[in-house]
Amino acid sequence: MIAGIDFSLLTVEIFTAALGLGLLIINLIVPGNQRSATGYLTVLGLLGILLVTLSYEGVEKTFMDGMYIIDPFATFFKRLFLVAAILVTISSLPFVKKLGYNEGDFFSLLVFATLGMMVLVSAGELITLYLGLELMTISFYILVSFKKKDAKSCEAGIKYIILSAMSSALLLYGLSLVYGLTKTTIIEQIASTLAAGTMQPLMALGIIFLLAGFGFKISLVPFHMWAPDVYEGAPTPITAFLAVASKAAALAAFVRIFLIGFPAYQEYWITLVIVLSVLTMVLGNLVAIPQTNIKRLLAYSSISQAGYLLLGIVAFSSMGIGAILFFSIIYVFTNVGAFMVVVALSTSTGSHKIEDYSGLYRRAPLLAVVMLFCLLSLAGLPPLAGFVGKLYLFIAVIEKGYIWLALLAVLMSMVSVYYYLLVVKVMFLKEPPQNSGIIKVPNGLQIAMVFSLILIIVLGIYPKPLSDLAMSVAHTFFPFSF
Amino acid sequence: MITLNHYLVLASLLFCIGLYCAIAKRNAIGILMGIELMLNAVNINLIAFNRFLVPGETTGHMFAIFVIVVAAAEVAVGLAIIINIYREKLSSAVEDFDWLKW
């Protein structure tokens, strides 16, 4: 049995786990004053693993009877998580330096959270999926409450743990019902079992529980309550990671379960997904308007972005999946870019209020310009990348005849322009407060910001190579376009 | 004769009690206990399905064991955070956790 297992398929996961464990050990060996070097080591390690993923180009294999799937879809998301983890590690260097304790643990947990996401997107089976999800979430519990002397951070931690554990229990109850009704935990076999039968009430219950569980992780309205509080209280780099990578991972698993596992009940759950999507877009954008804290504003904006991402699932076509893939890349760079500005500013001023961004253009031109482009891209203004991403999503739903849904999404995008421009107005038009000096930005953070900025502009003007890649990946993952 | 349905009803009752406990309790530790009840309801479901539908296999058992292990890890982290807050605030009631807008 063991002889038939090709462990080389797991190289990426094994390396990531080794990196995480290695960082823990290094933290013990290295004397206290030199531990900040572990951050650079993490960046190097993650870059190395990113190179390893290149050898998986076009590989489409399953491991242990479909328990673990290595396909272009999973590899695509793994690269995305690695890039996000690298950017987050770079932006957390100043934070960790200031923290002054447990440096190695912080980066190790970051790597383990990344490993959890990788397992989550590759899982072809419910137990593996659950384990990946929990590995990611438990690492995040600790990361969110990492500033243990800071009341807000601890409170965010306890809120996250209580609500997340509750949603995990709901998800598990759904998984147990699915297992009971199909007698298998392997997603592809679930699909073939369900294809024959009719909808049973218990199955409907299971699907609703699954939707609620995943809805929590992707922070869809009405399961979004935790997001603004946790995003505000958590250390800012972790907020960025939580907002982009954990959301993308949960969405990928959601796509795999629902599109591969339950296509037979498509007409039932699509209605629910449409309702969630509409609620999320409307509420996320409207509640963002009165926010005065930049982290809460970005939290609500990321909730509304999740609503747009759901449109790709509503489309139920390879075009929709391709649009989700394309949008998630852009989403990672724009959001991490915006959060990096927040990190840079809060390490020097210690504030997250939007009014403290006044006159940012005079105090730190680079920060203001990066923030401007990130916000405009999030709002979806051409010619930036966010516009192209939204365009693909809207085309995908219009193709299926949901014109009203696309119109609503465009309308809500316009609302979002308003609150993003409020921040821009404060940054560029207001006078800087007196006795405020020029803000120094660490070199690593500058490089990462410029990198995100260039990608946002280039992908907006010339999106073809990336969109072709996303579409071909989507086509191998989901070859039907009915 | 006890059938699969009895077990499923038991599990759903336990799940509802756990959910009620998690929502109604004021104390963070009480909430965690409620969540444990919910997870145990899931375990009963898994074992019952395995025993009555596919007696020859062990997938459900494996699933239940993993659920127990992960729940233990989750509670360990949760209690650590609660103890940390308790040191600062001398309280573990969730109403006192109001630094952030709820």
ipTM of the complex: 0.94
The CA-atom distances, in angstroms, between A380 and each of A302, A355, B44, B56 are 13, 24, 48, 55
Q: Catalogue the long-range contacts made by A145-150 (C-beta closer than 8 Å, 24 or more residues apart).
A: A145/A234, A145/B81, A145/B84, A146/A99, A146/A102, A146/A106, A146/A235, A146/A238, A147/A99, A147/A235, A148/B84
- Residue A315, classed as helix, strand or coil, is helix
Residue A117 is predicted with a pLDDT of 96
Tell whether the model's pLDDT for residue B96 goes beyond 80.
Answer: no
User: Whole-angstrom Cα distance, residue A182 to residue A252?
Assistant: 22
Q: Note whether residue A154 is domain-resident.
A: no
In a domain, B102, yes or no: no
Q: Is the residue at A102 inside a domain?
A: no
Give chain B's domain count: 1
How far apart, in whole angstroms, are the C-alpha atoms of residue B100 and residue A50?
37
Provide the domain limits for residue B92. Answer: 4-96
Q: Give the pLDDT score at A482.
A: 44
- Please determine, for residue B100, whether its predicted confidence score (pLDDT) is greater than 70: no
The CATH number that applies at residue B23 is: 1.10.287.3510
B101 to chain A: closest CA residue: A229
Give the per-residue pLDDT at A4. Answer: 64
Pairing of strands A61-63, A68-70: antiparallel
* B55 inside domain: yes
Does residue B102 have a pLDDT over 50?
no
pLDDT of B51:
93
How far is the C-alpha of B79 from the C-alpha of A153, rounded, in Å? 15
pLDDT score, position A53: 92
Beta strands of A43-166 (E only): which ranges? 61-63, 68-70
* Interchain pair B67, A172: CB under 8 A: yes
Q: State the nearest Cα–Cα gap between A407 and chain B, in angstroms.
A: 32
Instruction: State the amino acid at position A27 in one-letter form.
Output: N
CB atoms A169 and B97 under 8 Å: no
Does B27 fall in a domain?
Answer: yes
Q: What distance in Å separates the CA atoms of residue A106 and residue A143, rounded to the nearest whole number? A: 7
Whole-number pLDDT of residue A199: 77
Residue A1: the pLDDT is 45
Dump pLDDT digits (tens) for A334-351.
999 999 999 988 887 778
Per the domain annotation, does B58 fall within a domain?
A: yes
Of A287, A312, A317, A313, which is closest to residue A299 (Cα–Cα)?
Answer: A287
**Whole-number pLDDT of residue A95:** 85
Sign of the four-CA dihedral A474, A477, A479, A482: negative
> Which residues of chain B are at the A interface, by a Cβ-Cβ cutoff of 8 Å?
8, 15, 18-19, 22, 28, 31-32, 35, 38-39, 41-42, 45-46, 48-49, 53-54, 59-60, 62-63, 66-67, 70, 73-74, 77-78, 81-82, 84-85, 88-89, 94, 97, 99-102
Are B41 and A173 an interchain contact pair (Cβ–Cβ within 8 Å)? yes
Q: H helices of chain B, where?
A: 4-24, 28-53, 59-89
Residues A246-298 pLDDT 10s:
999 999 999 999 999 998 888 889 999 999 999 999 999 999 999 999 999 99
Residue B101 placed within a domain: no
Chain A residue with the nearest C-alpha to that of B69: A131
A396 near A317, Cβ under 8 Å?
A: yes
Beta-carbon separation of B28 and A148 below 8 A: no
Q: What pLDDT score does A210 carry?
A: 94
Q: By a Cβ cutoff of 8 Å, what residues of chain A touch chain B?
A: 126-127, 130-131, 134, 138, 141-142, 145, 148, 151-152, 154-159, 161-162, 165-166, 168-170, 172-173, 175-177, 179-180, 183-185, 228-229, 232-233
d(CA A248, CA A116) in angstroms, rounded, equals 12
Residue A171: the pLDDT is 95
- For B22, nearest residue in chain A (alpha carbons): A166
- Burial of residue B25 (CB within 10 Å: 0-12, 13-18, 19+) is middle
| Per-residue tokens: A257 | 């379960």
Domain for residue B12, yes or no? yes
Tokens of A377: 């891209």
- Kindly state whether residue A373 falls inside one of the protein's structural domains: yes
The parent domain of residue A312 ranges over 262-482
pLDDT tens track, chain A, 482 positions: 455 677 888 899 999 999 999 999 988 888 777 777 888 999 999 999 999 998 888 788 888 788 899 999 999 999 999 999 999 999 998 888 888 778 888 999 999 999 999 999 999 999 999 999 999 999 999 999 998 888 888 889 999 999 999 999 999 999 999 999 999 999 989 988 888 777 788 899 999 999 999 999 999 988 998 999 999 999 999 999 999 999 999 999 999 999 999 988 888 899 999 999 999 999 999 999 999 999 999 999 999 999 999 999 998 888 999 999 999 999 999 999 999 999 988 887 778 888 888 888 888 888 999 999 999 999 988 889 999 999 999 999 999 889 999 999 999 999 999 999 999 999 888 888 776 677 788 888 899 999 999 999 999 999 888 888 888 888 888 876 54
User: For residue A110, is it within any domain?
Assistant: no
> Rounded distance, CA B14 to CA A349, Å?
50
User: Residue A159 domain-assigned?
Assistant: no
Instruction: Give pLDDT, residue A145.
Output: 92
Q: Chain B partners of A165 at a C-beta cutoff of 8 Å?
A: 32, 35, 74, 78
pLDDT (0 to 100) of residue A2: 52
Q: Do B97 and A185 touch (CB under 8 A)?
A: no
Residue A234, Ramachandran bin (φ over 0: left; ψ between -120 and 50: alpha; else beta) = beta
Nearest CA in chain B to A156: B100
Are the CB atoms for A409 and A390 separated by under 8 Å?
yes
Contacts of A228 in chain B (CB under 8 A): 101
